[in-house]
Amino acid sequence: MKELKTPSHKGFIMPKNIAVGIDIGGTHIKSALVQENGHILSKKKIHTKKQDDSKEFIKSLIDLINHYKNETTGDYDLIGVGIGAPGNVNRESGLVEGAYNVPPLQNVQLIKELKPIINIPVYVDNDATNATKGEFLFGSGKGYDHLIGITIGTGIGGGIILNRHVFHGITNYAGEIGHMIIIKDGMMCSCGNRGCLEAYASTTAMVDHARQLIKRDHKSLLQSYNPSEINGELICKLANEGDEVSITVIQTIGYYLGLAIANIVNLLNIPIIAVGGGISDGAPNLFNVIESSANEHVLPKLRGTFQVVKAQLGNDAGVIGSASTVFMEGESAY
C-alpha cells in the first residue's frame, strides 16, 4: 500500500477531508484522490471498455474506488466519491441516460449500484457540470459568487453556478449550453434540433467546417493531411502557423461562442465565463474572438461587465470537478 504524506505549507497542515473524483469518458476513466483544497494526492487512469456489460463496468469502478480506499491512511478522512458522467444524470439514484459514447453506462443507476458495496457516500452529476464546480472552487471562478462553465469537445457542455450553488433545473438538465439555438432552421445537431451552438462551435463542427472549405478549393496546409487526420488539435496548430483556412475556422467558432455567451450574459448578468476543453489550450487567439463577438451582441449597458477566461484546471478538470461534487453538495458542504 502506498503511504500518503500529509502535505504542509509553511507549517500549516492541509485539510484532512479527501474525496475520490472519477471522470468517465468514452476513451478513459480518469480518477484522483483530491483534498478539500483541490490538491491532488494521487491519480489513476484506466481504459473505458465499451464492450463490457454494465456489471463488468460497475466492477471496474468498484475496483478503482477500493484502490483509493486502500491507499488512504489515518491522516485523512475519505468523505465520499464524486463521479462525472456524460449525458443526463438523476442525482438521487445516479441514473445515467444519453451516455451514447459509453454503452455499458447507459441506464445504470450508479449510486444504487455502488453505495451499498463501497459503503461511503456517492455523488453523481453531469461531467461538464462537475468541471464547472472544480473551476468555481479551485480555478478561474475562485472568489466569485457566480460562474458559467463551457466545455468544448466532441460536443459542448456547460454548468451554471448562481449564488455559490449549482443550478440543476427541475429535471437536472440545466447547463446544456451546447443546445442553445443560435440560428433559426440552422444545421442539424446530434440532439435532433437545428441551429444549436454545438453544431457550429464544437470540435466536430470545426472539422466539418474545415473539410467544407477545403472541398471548395480553399488552399490550406490541411490539404496535405488525410481527411481522417484532421481534428481540432491539428486545426489549432495550423492556425497558429498562419494557415488561412484554420484561422477562419477558429474565428467562426469564436464568433458563435461569443454570440451564445452574449445571450447568457443578457439573461443572467454573470461576471465570468470559463471556457475549457482541448481547443482552449491550442487556440490562444480564440478568446479575443469570443470576447469581441460577445461584446458585439450583448446589451450595450453590459459591455465590459464580464470576462471570458480560459478554464485553469486543464486535464485535471474532470477529476477535481467530480471530487468538488462531494465538497459542494455532500454532507460536509457549506
Those residues whose C-beta lies under 8 Å from the C-beta of residue 86, and which sit 6 or more positions away, are 24, 25, 26, 96, 98, 99, 100, 101, 102, 105, 126, 127
The pLDDT score that the predictor gives to residue 196 is: 97
The pLDDT score that the predictor gives to residue 279 is: 83
Convert 289-311 to b/e letters by CB count within 10 Å (16 or more is b): bbbebbbebbeeeeeeebebbeb
Q: What is the pTM of this model?
A: 0.89
List of the chain residues with pLDDT < 50: 1-13, 332-334
- Residue 286 grid coordinates: 480564440
122 in Cβ contact with 69 (< 8 Å): no
The pLDDT score that the predictor gives to residue 14 is: 57
Those residues whose C-beta lies under 8 Å from the C-beta of residue 165, and which sit 6 or more positions away, are 328
Q: How far apart are CA 193 and CA 196, in angstroms?
A: 7
pLDDT single digits (tens) 67-93:
999 988 778 899 999 999 988 898 888
23 in Cβ contact with 127 (< 8 Å): yes
Query: Residue 117 is inside which H or E element, if any?
Result: helix 110-118
The pLDDT score that the predictor gives to residue 69 is: 92
- Residue 299's identity, in one-letter code, is L
- Find, among 81, 75, 59, the residue nearest to 7 by Cα: 75
pLDDT single digits (tens) 10-46:
334 457 899 999 999 888 899 999 999 999 999 999 9
State whether CATH 3.40.50.970 applies to domain 16-133. no
Q: Which CATH number fits domain 142-312: 3.30.420.40, 3.10.129.10, 3.30.160.40, 3.30.300.90?
A: 3.30.420.40
Q: What angle do helix axes 110-118 and 54-71 make, rounded to 10 degrees?
A: 40
The pLDDT score that the predictor gives to residue 72 is: 82
The pLDDT score that the predictor gives to residue 131 is: 95
Q: How far apart are CA 47 and CA 102, in angstroms?
A: 11
| CATH 3.30.420.40 residue window(s) in the chain | 16-133, 142-312
The pLDDT score that the predictor gives to residue 20 is: 97
Q: What single-letter DSSP state applies at residue 202?
A: S
